[in-house]
Amino acid sequence: MDQSKAPLNDAEIRQAVTVIRRDAGLDDSAWFETISLDESGRYPGSRGAYVCCYEPDSNRTFNGIVLFDDDSLAEWRHVEGMQARIVPDEFMMACELARKHEGFREALRRRGIDDPSRVLVESWSAGNFGNPEEKQQRVAYGHCWLMNDAGDNPYARPIANLHPVFDLGKREILRIDDFGVVPIPPDPGPIRRPRQRDDLREIAITQPDGPSFEVDGYHVRWHDWELQVGFAQRDGLVLHDIAIHDRGRLRPLMKRASMAEMVVPYGDPRGAAFRRNAFDTGEYGIGASLDSLRLGCDCLGHIHYFDVWTHDWQGEPQLIENAVCMHEEDYGIQWKYSVPAAGQTTVTRSRRLVVSSIATIGNYVYGFFWYFYMDGTIGVEVKATGIPFPSAIESGGVSPYGRQIGDRVESHVHQHVFSFRFDMALDGERNTVTEMNFRPAPTGPDNLHGNAVITEETRFKKESEAQREVDSRQSRYWRVINPGVLNRFGEPVGYKLLPGANSFPLQHPDSSVGRRAGFMYKHLWVTRHDPDELYPAGWFPNQHAGGDGLPRWTAADRAIDNEHVVVWHTVNYHHWPRPEDWPVQPVVYAGFHWMADGFFDENPTMDLPQRQAVCAAESAEE
């Protein structure tokens, strides 16, 4: 099988580092933000790495491409005015800087904290609010918490109003912003409770004959599906070349699918809280934060795991074992029909293939789940858990922007906004996107009883037309069709994007986060394919003033009718925290589906094993 899109291995990462150190002309202070598979398409037949570096001594960011076959640096440039992502090593470095800083230690003592080693300091991106330091320095803004006594919750006791401000490039603290002492909340106790209930019996999932999927490296075949599991340091889990077998043909659907950006804007304007706008993909990176998954805990059943290689800031490869989990799940009834007069019931069982990864990003934990169903449906779901950002309640009581979730602890209103990117190839690369709306017809001679429904399908011809919002009143969804391939009824074959529960951003479009995350104001964007357009807020959102990504690209208003198109779907989970989210939030869900819509000539699961004999036998025994 073709493994050209497989994630980089440790030897390739080391080779990329060697080439950069040898040929890029960087000084000794430079470190590696990203070393991932090159997906530019500019070097067909050659496997390579996209590399991004930051040089602290000059406060410059560089990126380019290393080709493995000829051990060469094919591209290299200074990305002027841009800041690389904040990598995990910088988080650890900044935390230690604060713990050793006498001004910070004194601020802790004023709050009754004598042991800085028990204090967590997270160096979040400062964003961009027009301050000179945000243009000239690599600035991060610290947020602080005191570990609980049990040592299993570093966010247990928020330290309000205390914010060390870092120049990460110079590895120094610029100042300590202290807006006044607020009492530290009491210890909430351990997350790992000593008393656990014992009335739940084990659920065992077995497949005596083994799983139905086949794996060759990172290539997967299951039921009628084929796909390739991929990985990027920034995106995390990526899926390539998603296709489905149909009556002897392998029919492509998507060339690449990923969760391309995630931004979490918070709604508290007081003190330094207005800076809490995390671009978890573009400012920090999902891939480096993937968990190593464990059987019976994160995944249940007959599991196949995929390992991936990431790296630290010196470019040293780091293995994440079991980073991606894959298994089958029974999913109830696929279809059923009964003829009571004849005593006849026909039932088929559904199952789905689950490909998932889980990332721990500071206080939150996100599971990214991709479901492949037997009828050609693709489900996409985010499962969010972890700890809602906790803040200490000030003397005046709970703020109007938050809700009390624990003893003297509140958490503020916020949203989790996800942008999913789909490089479409529905039976080929020339596709068109349309919008479906439904509305009641006016009463009149053709609608005497007022029950008629008008169906409207609008075909998008240019990018400016394809910036749309969800509308449940019109049962709105979107279709991707191939005008050059017809089904047996003479219609273009198609798939529909069916939104799930969704919301709208509440931040003003001209706010700092509104300018930087302009993509979040539309639930659908359609763009003409460009391999360099991978991220909806642009390649470098860290400290960026805004306007990059989808708003800038679509200003060209390129043609998208019967072209190679990319579909972007925005999912907004609105979160008003509740006491039940503390000390750890139960999983909440956000997602959507792609469903065959005229792609097949009939129900593609009519050949599934029918269960009428088994059901009849069990009924007789009863």
Number of CB atoms found within 10 A of residue 601's CB = 12
Of 238, 271, 269, the C-alpha closest to 255 is 238
List phi, psi (to 5°) of 88: -55, -35
User: Do 461 and 557 touch, CB atoms closer than 8 A?
Assistant: no
Find tokens 């460009």 and name the residue.
Answer: 530
CA angle 84, 232, 70 (to 5 degrees): 90
User: Between the CA of residue 6 and those of 49, 237, 302, what are the distances in Å?
Assistant: 12, 11, 23
**Long-range Cβ contacts of 95-103 (<8 Å, 24+ apart):** 95/120, 95/121, 95/122, 95/123, 97/164, 97/166, 97/171, 97/172, 97/173, 98/142, 98/144, 98/164, 98/166, 98/173, 101/164, 101/173, 101/176, 103/173, 103/176
Of the residues 280, 427, 581, 597, only one is catalytic, namely 280
User: Do 369 and 381 touch, CB atoms closer than 8 A?
Assistant: yes
Of the residues 364, 366, 535, 573, only one is catalytic, namely 364
CA angle 404, 124, 421 (to 5 degrees): 95
Tokens of 206: 């077995």
Helix (H) or strand (E) holding 551: helix 550-553
Parallel, antiparallel or unpaired: strands 31-37 and 48-55 = antiparallel
**Dihedral sign of CA atoms 575, 269, 546, 560 in order:** positive
User: Do 286 and 420 touch, CB atoms closer than 8 A?
Assistant: no
For residue 228, the cross-strand partners are 219, 240
C-alpha atoms less than 13 angstroms from C-alpha of 502 in its C-beta half-sphere: 25
Q: Side by side, which strands form the sheet with 364-373?
A: 304-311, 317-339, 344-361, 364-373, 378-386, 585-596, 492-499, 477-486, 432-440, 453-459
Parallel, antiparallel or unpaired: strands 378-386 and 277-279 = unpaired
One-letter amino acid for residue 345 of the chain: T
User: Do 527 and 565 touch, CB atoms closer than 8 A?
Assistant: yes
Tokens of 149: 């006594």
114: annotated active-site residue: no
CA angle 220, 226, 227 (to 5 degrees): 65
User: Do 477 and 498 touch, CB atoms closer than 8 A?
Assistant: yes
Find tokens 């005015």 and name the residue.
Answer: 81
Q: 14: helix, coil or strand?
A: helix
What is the distance between the alpha carbons of residues 523 and 569, in angstroms, rounded to a whole number?
5
What is the distance between the alpha carbons of residues 120 and 159, in angstroms, rounded to a whole number?
10
280: annotated active-site residue: yes
Find tokens 């479409």 and name the residue.
Answer: 424
What is the distance between the alpha carbons of residues 379 and 592, in angstroms, rounded to a whole number?
6
Tokens of 617: 């036998």
Cis peptide before 188 (omega within 30 of 0): no
Enumerate the active-site residues.
280, 364
